[in-house]
A and B are shown apart, each in its own frame.
Chain A
């Protein structure tokens, strides 16, 4: 069974870059069965998909965030990462990483989530 764990700063200043890493255990990030996704949830609100990456580096992302999002994967460390630049208070949210079943595009395993607050 896959386990995913997000890590990164819990506080980011406005206009700076949010950086998070998701470490995968219980399976290989190089699996051809999965994409690896990021989803966020502002406090008290719904889920918003940010983007997804395959182990080869192929990505697709939410058009509303695409210009600010960078996704990367490190197969040697079995982890993948998210960078979101030029953050504002509107980017304050719990950020989840999840395994996305390839060819069906749903999320079967989720990390515990990490709250990132954008504030000076």
Chain B
């Protein structure tokens, strides 16, 4: 299997920048993906192929991926961004879809 590690929680003040990390062995050699999940809702893709935003995702969401760490950055964080965020990668060696354990983002 392939493991991805995220911090359980991150806090940020409104208007500030939030950074959520995702660590995995040589993750930078793979694509990283990020999903946002609000309570009682299905996950929503917010970043694909490390840095790309799907249509409809605000520009304040951005991503990067290098070495062993991928990072989701939310600039000018808003109250509506409070949610759980999950990273995901595909490990071709083991044909395994890996999810990180998730990070609860609190905006306070």
The interface size bin for chain A is 20 to 34
Q: Which of A37, A60, A104, A113 contacts B48 (CB 8 A)?
A: A104
Contact indicator A113/B102 (Cβ below 8 Å): no
A63 to B96, CA, bound (A): 8
- Residue-by-residue, is B80-108 near A (CB-CB < 8 Å gives 1, otherwise 0)? 00000010101000111111111000000
A62 to B90, CA, bound (A): 12
Q: Which residue of B lies closest to A37 (CB)?
A: B97
Residues of chain A within 8 A of B42, CB atoms compared: 96, 110-113
Contact indicator A104/B31 (Cβ below 8 Å): yes
**If A46-B86, A62-B96 touch, does A106 touch B31 (CB 8 Å cutoff)?**
yes
Answer whether residue A119 sits at the interface, using C-beta atoms and an 8 A cutoff: no
Contact indicator B100/A49 (Cβ below 8 Å): no
A105 to B99, CA, bound (A): 12
Contact indicator A106/B90 (Cβ below 8 Å): yes
Contact indicator B48/A108 (Cβ below 8 Å): yes
For chain B residues 28-83, which have a beta carbon within 8 Å of chain A?
A: 31, 33, 35, 42-45, 48-49, 54
**If A96-B42, A112-B42 touch, does A106 touch B88 (CB 8 Å cutoff)?**
yes
Q: Which residue of A lies closest to B95 (CB)?
A: A60
Residues of chain A within 8 A of B48, CB atoms compared: 101, 104, 106, 108
Q: Which residue of B lies closest to A51 (CB)?
A: B97
Name 13 interchain pairs, CB-CB below 8 A, sorted by A.
Answer: A37-B97, A46-B99, A46-B102, A47-B35, A49-B98, A62-B97, A104-B90, A106-B45, A107-B43, A107-B45, A107-B88, A108-B45, A112-B42
Apart from A63-B96, A107-B45, A108-B48, 4 more pairs, CB < 8 Å:
A62-B97, A96-B43, A101-B48, A110-B44
